[in-house]
Amino acid sequence: MKYRLLDLLACPICKHFPLRLIVIETKEYPERELPFEKPLCELFCSFLNRDVEKEKKEEYPCEKCIKLEVVTGVLVCSQCNRWYPIIEEIPRMLPDDLRDKEEDIEFLKKYKDKLPKEVVYSGVPVHL
């Protein structure tokens, strides 16, 4: 998942924006070049975890950000406490009734030491 995708994503259940990104593993693509003027993100820079200020273009590390993909991680909604796994670079943002609870529990068990306790032990829709 590209960091700049968080500039577009909101919680599919409660529509809260922005989501919090917890990165477990990244992969670098050094051949990627900046396609546009920076900042690439319009509202929220998830690489720096802050709102975008257009007048401070030189502060944004878009050259670094564009080369990274989040391979494994979690998107967390701070409003409804839902979490969505990122597996093999793909955010799995499904409604609660379409999620695989066993897969979610395995994900939590595997990464519980790298995730915040509120996600692991009280996250919605599944927790340990």
Write out pLDDT tens, residues 77-103. 999 999 999 999 999 999 999 999 999
* pLDDT for residue 23: 98
> pTM of the full predicted structure?
0.94
Q: List 70's β-bridge partners, or say none.
A: 26
Distance CA 90, CA 19 (A): 15
* pLDDT for residue 56: 87
- 10 Å Cβ neighbour count for 44? 19
Instruction: Please list, in sequence order, all residues whose beta carbon lies within 8 angstroms of the beta carbon of residue 59, skipping any fewer than 6 positions away.
Output: 53
Task: Write down the CATH number for the domain with range 3-122.
Answer: 2.20.25
Judge whether residue 58 has pLDDT over 90. no
